[in-house]
Amino acid sequence: MSLKDKTIFITGASRGIGLAIAERCARDGANIVIAAKSDTEQAKLEGTIHSAAEAVEAAGGKALAVRCDIRDEAQVEAAVAAAADRFGGIDAVINNASAIFPRGTSDVPMKRYDLMHQVNGRGTFMVTQKCLPWLEKAENPHIIALSPPLDMRPMWFGPHVAYTSAKYQMSLCILGWGEEFKGRIAANAIWPRTAVATAAISNILANDEAMKSCRKPEILAETAYRVLNKPAASFTGNFLIDDSFLYDEGERDFEQYSYVPGIELLPDFFVPDDVPAPPGVKIMDVSLGH
């Protein structure tokens, strides 16, 4: 398995899960396009496209930092053109950028509703659409979205219908692309079994003790890396839970992804009951969705 000289276009890669995926792919010598909004340091958020580019190159890859708001069609087109011009094409797109505001209907300002739907569903569709001409020319092209299985039980909609419907738009894209591009371009979704320690989750939990019960972004980075190395013609249309997929791939050491070894982990939204945790993985009997 190797992604050497492959060009990976990653949205929201200035920090968190997107950056972890970028660094993992860079270890193979991949070309990483860091498409994100953060080009200057912010007081409450660490990381910019420039610091991410430095991290990618330190890991062994080549980086292109492009300031890009994926709600803006002209900016997305410019970012894709810059990527293709710099590296000669695009082999994979990782739709990582996402907006989250899991509140009840009366507590969601319309600007938050619009942000989630513009970034999550529309942004994922548009970025992939603009990358498509290059993916069609690639040897083993992949589309990945950081989005959940389409579990339509009311328990996932009742507490935060605006967020759920926005996030499921990403998954509906994967469902459709898995069929539309079958045999040519892989389209898969990856999702964490547990909460992952990122700035977005920190704002939701607002609790240092709860953050200790999260996993590191590296578990999703390893998941994405292994998906990207699968044959695009046959491995497609999957909705993968990170640790179950990695277990099937032969991984047995899941403690490496925990901040506190042995601690019970906080479950994430949208994890189906019929995908059990690997042996030895301890999950709290609670849900972020309630």
Active site residues: 163
Q: Dihedral sign, CA of 85, 59, 199, 228?
A: positive
| Cβ 26 vs Cβ 61: under 8 Å | yes
Q: Dihedral sign, CA of 75, 76, 78, 79?
A: positive
Nearest in space to 71 (alpha carbons), one of 39, 34, 35, 25 = 35
- DSSP letter, residue 18: H
Please give the Cα distance from 4 to 230 (Å, whole number): 14
Q: For helices 124-135 and 161-180, what crossing angle results, to 10°?
A: 20
With tokens 């998906």, the residue in question is 227
